Structure 1
Amino acid sequence: MRRVGPPVVKLLDDDVESIKYSLASHLLYSVGKEPISATARDWFMAAAYAVRDRVSEHWMPTLNRYYAEDRKRVYYMSMEFLIGRTLSNSMINLGIYDTVKQAVTDMGVDFDEVLGWEVEAALGNGGLGRLAACLLDSMATLGVPGFGYGIRYDYGMFTQHVEHGWQVESPENWLRYGNPWEFARPGIIYPVRFGGRVVHYKDVLGHTRAQWMDTEEVMAMAYDVPIPGYGGKTVNNLRLWTAKSTREFDLKYFNAGNYIEAVRDKAESETLSKVLYPSDLTDRGKELRFKQEYFFVAASIQDILSRFRKAHSDWDKLPDKVAVQLNDTHPAMVVAELMRVLVDEYQIDWHRAWALTRATCAYTNHTLLPEALETWPVDLFQRVLPRHLEIIFQLNHEFLQEVRHRHPGDNDLLRRVSVIAEEGDRRVRMGHLAVIGSHKVNGVAAIHTGLMKSTIFSDFDHLNPGKINNKTNGVTPRRWLLLSNPGLAALISGKIGKDWVIHLDQLKKLEPLAADAEFRTQFSAVKHANKVRLAEVISQRLGVDINPASLFDVQIKRIHEYKRQLLNVLHVISRYSRIRANPLVDVVPRVVIIGGKAAPGYLLAKLIIKLINDVADVVNNDPLVGDKLKVVFVPNYNVSTAELVMPAADLSEQISTAGTEASGTGNMKMSMNGALTIGTWDGANVEICEEVGEENMFLFGLTAQEVARLRIDGYSPRAAIAANQDLKRAIDLIASGYFSPDEPERFGAIVDILTNSDHYLLTADFAGYMTAQERVDELYRDQPEWNRKAILNVARMGKFSSDRTVSEYARDIWGVPV
């Protein structure tokens, strides 16, 4: 039978008239509306389909080129992909943003309103997902054959509302109106098994084999989302899995009239992809989260190996053609699953399979906090994944044998490096599994990687020097400057050309302009316009009027004790007290903007949100304060919100306890948009300082080494409080019920932590933080000098492009050309 080649398709044109034709066609044929009855959401869907058509024209040739060239592929495994709104980003990367805007406007439709109707994909929660999205963008831009694998959650983390100052969660039903960017692939479906038992037998050659049987089964069905790189020449793929039952319903129950029981199995099976991070406060929630992680790992490994086997029969080529990157410990099950498939299904020798697995996998660590390094009970493993537990036990036994031979008699070392934690309830350490099952392990900032080597993975570093390496995070300048800050992007391009968009180091050419008074004035005008835009949004959404001439002091990130939003609040209270004590004092007007979600079960983080809002209620309504100080908590912080806030920030708050923040990417985004950083010697702040210059930042506080030493020696927060009247006054106001007169004891837990334990050392760093804030005020009074330093921040951010990050991964870990 003669093979028929691909049909000749006339490429779509990108001029205004062609796009107007596409819009009208999709409005009628895809949305089913006429212009006279179409809503703004209908026009958004039409625009999305019109742009998606143009993305798809480059998507298929990209994938075909990878096959034809037999390229090594990179598979980025992540539980989160916080990709944000796709329409505007796709238009930017295809170079058709202005053309589509003109076409939509010509058709009598408000372009900004159309963009506003896109609901961003709720596929992540924080920095982990935002980093993954940036790396996908850079892989496509650089032409790296990079593919993402994750879960198509029906519901995201949650939508955050603020009611009476408290965080209230509601389902984040981002798919309620459909998703125009995805392509359902009902033909790509894989079985994923749970439970059952393992039977061992001898094959015809006398080798011991294992058979995993009597399992329950759920199907994983693929949805594909195209990821266009800048310039549109390369479009990679994000494949997301959704859970489908192996049967629709039980006819026996249905015929008996028991409709609920009839669909019970289907409903339970499909909960695997319902929600991002189900609560693990209950045993049922823990098991669901555990199954969820294995579900996407098992489906992805089947898909990866299926693609590999289409072109290759020699398993030794697997590491030459496949690179699997584990984004945190959530996909660490890849190690056991790849071993299971190679050994049990393809009958590959155990030791050969182990060599292939380690050569294929690499692991990115994102945290030094022991509680954030996943561990799973052995009994849960035994019940849900019995074969994988056998494999992990065997891998661990052989690994410990190696260690024992090299370090005889050192039983404490064996205990520390074992994949199985034997203390109390036996647990599987997923971080340890990822380390021994990978050929490379990386941290995401220089200080973080150094601390990995000296703390949580110090034994592994001594056992295998050089295995742990650093890959400092970066962000994509396409979304976080070109798209989110068009005024600054245009100003930059007008001075140095447009190549900076893909060669961010060219921002260095701006350095001489920092001394140019006219350029500083233009730069300041852009910043002011961004602040006016944000002020209007805050007024409309929250009813708080803020003065754009004020210093915009911004801290937006997940709410957590170690990120120290509470330290920010203590400064706000101190500032408020000073203004109250002397209302005529000449102060720099300041708007403190805080945003972020607290995990639903993290009660202290939710109490901190309540404190922020209670303080805001008092400060914002005090006539003695007026515009001298405002406090705004921005609810439901997400990518779209960040795109509004980052360009408007004057001051970037990066104040985590030194040694706790792996990297941070918000610090990079705000510096890239002309904010000055006030921060500790933590995460990527250290490297930003090396690039930008300490004189152009406001650094303060203990170093990671000083933090560790202080905790060992013992620390008394009461002594620090007694020695600092501002700190004592702020804590006394909280404790007295000044900000919670309806419930004076409301914040007792916060006061208790500050005065008794203070694990994250807020009281130790408070004095230094206040001094740094005084330096901020002093500099902000000198606007030409402030703007000079802000321009230098922008000019020296070239290192922090995710293009550089991906290039380093490609060279040092994946072994693919860029």
Structure 2
Amino acid sequence: MKKPAALPELDHPTLDAASIRRSLHNRLVYTIGKDPITATDRDWFHAAAAVVRERMIERWMETMRSYYVEDRKRVYYLSMEFLMGRAMTNSMLNICAEKEFRDALAALGEMGLKPESISEIEPDAALGNGGLGRLAACFLDSMATMGIAGYGYGIRYEYGMFHQGIENGQQVEHPDNWLRYGNPWEFPRPEVLYQVKFHGRVVDFADEHGHKHYQWVDSDDVMAMAYDYPIPGYDTGTVNNMRLWAAKASRDFDLKYFNEGNYIAAVEDKNDSENLSKVLYPDDTTEMGRELRLKQQYFFVSASLQDMLYRFAKSGTPLDNLPDKVAVQLNDTHPSIAVPELMRILIDEHRMEWTRAWGIVTRTFAYTNHTLMPEALETWPVPLFERVLPRHLQIIYEINQRFLRDVMHHYPGDPALWQRMSLIDEAKGKRIRMAHLAIVGSHKVNGVAAIHTRLMKETIFADFHRLWPDKIVNMTNGVTPRRWLNQANPALSKLITTHLGKGWLKDLDQLRQLTPLTVDAGFCEAFVRVKRDNKARLAAMIQQRLAIRVDPASLFDVQIKRIHEYKRQLLNVLHVITLYNRLRAGGDAPPRTVIFGGKAAPGYRLAKLIIRLINDVADIVNNDPLVRDRLKVVFIPNYDVSNAEIIIPAADLSEQISTAGTEASGTGNMKLALNGALTIGTLDGANVEIRNEVGPENIFIFGLTADEVAQQYAAGYSPWVHYDNNAELRQTLDMLRDGFFSPEDRDRYKPVFDQLTYHGDHYLLLADYASYIACQEQVGQLYRDPAAWTRKAILNVAGMGQFSSDRTIGQYAKTIWNVEPVARTAG
């Protein structure tokens, strides 16, 4: 490998406020091309972003060079989502220059500029939808902070999932055009282009030795162009890279059509090609949408593997040593097409023998599973696969044939087991089981919480665990404290640093040292003041955006996550209605503000109906003089990272109420507890481990366990038993059925009633209702004792050290990737 030349002598940009201020003016004039007199806040934002970039780029280049010089093993994290949030403040904090930048921006105050208004100009990068993408973002932060040679690979979506509006109480989807004003954090790489093929056919031929080979011909080609984003570690010299792919036409337009005057036809191929990176998760209820999703997955996987292999080839290392220098983590099944794609490259392009190639593949890949629900495991119809990726279907069949031969040797005479383990599901038309493909093609498979991993071994992947007892391992999720405490909650971060120093930002276990401070009156008073100020900020946002006045002294009861039946926002609504009925009847409870946030998939009818129900309940409750200010309900539209950074620090109570055995892990539960919220939840996902860390007396647990849920299903669960025997529950459900909250359309919520009764209440809301209501009463009783509540809130913060994504990445590095973190100093 050629040694890189030394960097030329550079004018190192310094981090003091005066030099930053000079750079701001220079970038505004020479990069943005604006006079300070006419510059808008957006102009100043782009100038400020350019200045922050300047102070990362040299570290970025030095980091990338060091990986080549040290011949470091690289970790490639493949994910359909990277929910990064705003980059400005995060980058300032991670390069430890936030104060200097704010001082420099504040010095521009004579022009009417406010630092916070400039940073709020930045849109959230619409590269993800929820926990999957947020986890990926945390992992990139941790890899950079810990000095791991980690790269993120994904798609540069021109439009995100959607921007959620609420009109007449209903979710309305609008395009999320986050790139409208450009993205100052990306570096286009037009020279980094890879060809990605679709459709066509496969021909076979024999070489001079009589060996059979395959060639994929007559394909439709698309070009993948790279865009790079620097990912700075916290207080370190490491700046890693996230590379996203945008689809470009292989040729701009068909000249024949253009010459004939048919411009639309001339650019049709270009438009079709570039649709690949237009939208995150296109609607898959149509055949066209399903094909586009499959193409998206293969598009970014193919480009990423080509890029990895190009980088690997520059080292001159033989391909057999690929697993020694490359680790690829598949974040869920979306990138699992990487398994047959790498096989295709090795056997078709490098003419490698199958067994040798398969050994390389299985030692290179590892797979993270994110669901326990069989219906949520991704499958693709064989005819669709055959049409879009004909060569890959052949390879998958060959993988399956060889795998099942091995299974038959281990378990002869058990065709039912062979059928269960097959990569092809024959039950409802032939479908490819992508999770099975990922498991067979990986050397390690991990769950994301202890209970999730146990249930993977005992339920959905029990057969694979029996065959390979050491393959499935646990890697409990974590969150980065840099984003989710230092940035989102600067007042609490400052309070902690005052007492502990700043070492906790890289070693979250140090938060345990807060435990003795629960009896320190001064610390407790300061902790309460921070929470009160955060609640006042959220209340002001709610007032400004929704014209709903909420009392910051009330209990802020928060459920913020994707709207889905298994996450049971509906159970929360049933409690709200029950509490409302009690208050109307003269009951007593501490004032409570129930806050919801989350998006429903556009085609998910019931989830969208639940959003409408929340808003209809809010309309009735918030305007009823009988309950006055004792109960308020708020749905905050378009929940995203930036909204989360305001909501999470203000939360008193964290709702983590999924049906036990359905939530793989959750990370919202960790973020909320880290910011001093108490959790009410089932023993599901990471709630189990949170209870272990904070102590069972400092968390509110209710409901059936995962084993008890399984027993309910096995015994023939009937929701009517709970309906008939619980008067409060019956009253609550009847109000939904009879149109109490929709007087203009009394049948509007009959489908909700039917789902919970006639249709079997699949997620056991009614079975957990009484336990949940009783647990909420305990919450109210504790909230009446501010000192006791504050003590438990501090203990929740103190117990969150285990849930740093640094700990998670350290486990991946040791157990799965076989890489060593390398500390780098900032300089």
TM > 0.5 fold call: yes
Q: Say whether 1:211 aligns with 2:215.
A: yes
Please give the secondary structure, in 2, of the residue aligned with 1:226. strand
Q: Give the Cα separation in 1 of the matches to 2:567 and 2:130.
A: 13
- In the TM superposition, residue 3 of structure 1 has moved relative to its aligned partner by 8.9
Match of 2:145 in 1: 141
Partner of 2:825: none
> TM-score by structure 1 length?
0.99
How far does the alpha carbon of each residue in 1:462-495 deviate from its partner, in whole angstroms, 9 at most, with x for none? 0000100000000000000001001111111111
**Superposition pairs for residues 59-208 of structure 1, below 5 Å?**
59-108=60-109, 109-208=113-212
In structure 2, C-alpha distance between the alignment counterparts of 1:194 and 1:4, rounded to whole Å: 39
Using the TM superposition, name which of 31-40 and 555-564 deviates more.
Answer: 31-40
Closer/same/farther in 2, CA of residues 135 and 2 from structure 1, 3 Å limit: closer
Q: Quick check: 1:656–1:680 contact (8 Å CA) kept in 2?
A: yes
Question: Which amino acid letter does the alignment assign opposite residue 21 of structure 1?
Answer: R
Query: Paired residue for 2:240, among 233, 236, 242?
Result: 236
1:162 aligned counterpart, secondary structure? strand
> 2-side partners of 1:2 and 1:433: how far apart?
39
Task: Single out whichever of 106-115 and 472-481 deviates more from structure 2.
Answer: 106-115
1:619 matched to 2:621? The reply is yes
Q: Which residue of 1 aligns with 2:497?
A: 493
Structure 2 contact 3–69 (Cα < 8 Å) conserved: no
Greater displacement, 230-239 / 469-478: 230-239
Tell me the equivalent position of 1:285: 289
Letter in 1 for 2:607: A
CA distance, structure 2, for counterparts of residue 2 and residue 265 of structure 1: 42
The alignment covers a number of residue pairs equal to: 816
Q: Does 1:632 align with 2:640?
A: no
Quote the Cα distance in structure 2 between the aligned partners of 1:401 and 1:747.
52
Match of 1:468 among 469, 472, 477: 472
* CA–CA separation in structure 1 for the residues paired with 2:400 and 2:565: 34
Query: What is the TM-score normalised by the length of structure 2?
Result: 0.98
2:824 pairs with 1:817 = no
Deviation at 1:365, TM superposition (A): 0.1
Superposed, 1:178-577 pairs within 5 Å as: 178-577=182-581
Deviations 1:312-343 (A, max 9, x none): 34112100000000000000000000000011
SS across alignment from 1:168: strand
Kindly provide the amino acid, as one letter, of the partner of residue 287 in structure 1.
E
| Equivalent of residue 776 in structure 2, options 773, 776, 789 | 773
Counterpart-to-counterpart distance in 2, 1:671 and 1:606: 28
Does the 8 A contact of 1:226 with 1:235 survive in 2?
yes
Q: Unpaired runs of 5+ in structure 2? A: 822-827
Say if 1:16 and 1:103, in contact at 8 Å, map to a contact too. yes
Using the alignment, how far apart are the partners of 1:406 and 1:64 within structure 2?
A: 48
Deviations 1:46-90 (A, max 9, x none): 111100111112100000000000000000000000000000000
Q: 1:363 to 1:692 in 2, by over 3 A?
A: same
3-state secondary structure, aligned to 1:304: helix
Q: Distance in 2 between matches of 1:114 and 1:384?
A: 45
Q: Which residue of 2 aligns with 1:37?
A: 38
Give the secondary structure class of the aligned counterpart of 1:627: coil
Q: Percent identity?
A: 62
Unaligned runs of 5+ residues in structure 1 are none
1:792-803 residue pairs with structure 2 within 5 A? 792-803=795-806
Distance (Å, rounded) in 2 between the aligned partners of 1:372 and 1:189: 34
256-265 or 455-464: bigger deviation: 256-265
Matched, 1:804 2:807: yes
- Pick closer, same or farther for the CA change 1:4–1:501 going to 2, 3 Å: closer
CA contact (8 A) 1:58 1:232 kept: no
Please give the alpha-carbon distance, in whole angstroms, between the structure 2 residues aligned to 1:97 and 1:779. 38
8 A Cα contact 1:250 1:263, kept in partner: yes
Letter in 1 for 2:32: V
Q: Partner residue of 2:7?
A: 6
Once the two structures are TM-superposed, the CA of residue 736 in structure 1 deviates from its matched residue by 1.2
Question: Contact 2:658 / 2:682 at 8 angstroms: preserved in 1?
Answer: yes
- Cα distance in 2 for residues equivalent to 1:255 and 1:336: 41
C-alpha separation between the residues in 2 aligned to 1:38 and 1:622? Answer: 48
Are 1:150 and 1:296, in contact at CA under 8 Å, matched by a contact in 2? Answer: yes
Distance 2:185 2:727 in 1: 56
- The separation in 2 between residues aligned to 1:511 and 1:577, in whole angstroms, is 39
How many angstroms does 1:11 deviate by? 1.0
Question: For 1:419 and 1:163, how far apart are their aligned partners in 2?
Answer: 44
SS at match of 2:437: helix
Question: 1:142-201 deviations in whole A, cap 9, x for unaligned?
Answer: 000000000000000000000000000010000000000000000000000001111111
CA distance in 2, matches of 1:476, 1:313: 35
Q: Determine the structure 1 residue equivalent to 2:656.
A: 654
The within-5 A match list for 1:705-720 is 705-720=707-722
* 2:762 corresponding residue in structure 1: 759
Structure 2 counterpart of 1:738: 740
CA shift digits 1:710-737 (9 cap, x unpaired): 0010111111012112111111111111
Deviation at 1:623, TM superposition (A): 1.3
Taking the aligned partners of 2:813 and 2:655, their CA distance within structure 1 comes to 32
Counterpart of 2:26 in structure 1: which amino acid?
Answer: S
Preserved contact between residue 123 and residue 153 of structure 1 (Cα < 8 Å): yes
Equivalent AA in structure 2 for residue 781 of structure 1: R
AA matched with 1:718: W
Is 1:27 the counterpart of 2:28? The answer is: yes
Separation (CA, whole Å) in 1 of partners of 2:666 and 2:428: 34
- CA deviation profile, 1:358-395 (whole Å, cap 9, x unmatched): 00000000001112211001111111111000000001
Matching residue's letter, 1:69: E
- Describe the SS at the equivalent of 2:757: helix
Contact 1:550 1:588 in 2 (8 A): yes
Q: CA deviation at 1:131?
A: 0.2
- 1:791 maps to 794
Deviation of 1:423 after TM superposition, in Å, equals: 1.3
Question: For the Cα contact (< 8 Å) 2:738–2:750, is it kept in 1?
Answer: no
User: How big is the shift at 1:5?
Assistant: 4.1
Contact 1:55 1:232 in 2 (8 A): no
Deviation string, structure 1 residues 755-793 (Cα, Å, up to 9, x no partner): 221000000000000010000001000000000000000
Partner residue of 1:606?
A: 608
Please name the residue that 2:824 is paired with. Answer: none
Change (3 A) 1:523 1:271: same
On the 8 A contact 1:335/1:433 being kept in 2, the answer is: yes
Q: Deviations over 1:737-763 (max 9, x none)?
A: 110011000011100011221000000
Amino acid at match of 1:648: A
Structure 2 Cα separation of the partners of residues 111 and 204 of structure 1: 70
Decide whether the 8 Å contact of 2:535 with 2:650 is kept in 1: yes
1:204 alignment partner AA: E
Letter in 2 for 1:319: P
Residue 287 of structure 1 and its aligned partner are, at CA, apart by 0.3
| Contact map agreement 1:508 1:796 (CA 8 A) in 2 | yes
- 1:535 positional shift: 0.3
Worse-superposed segment, 369-378 or 554-563 = 369-378
Cα separation, 1, equivalents of 2:376 and 2:628:
42
How far apart are residue 4 of structure 1 and its match? 5.9
Q: Is the 8 A contact 2:73 2:819 kept in 1?
A: yes
> 2: distance between equivalents of 1:89 and 1:291?
33
Distance between the aligned counterparts of 1:145 and 1:161, measured in 2?
40
Q: CA RMSD in A?
A: 1.0
Deviation at 1:21, TM superposition (A): 1.0
Q: Deviations over 1:655-714 (max 9, x none)?
A: 000000000000000000000000001000000000011100100000000001100101
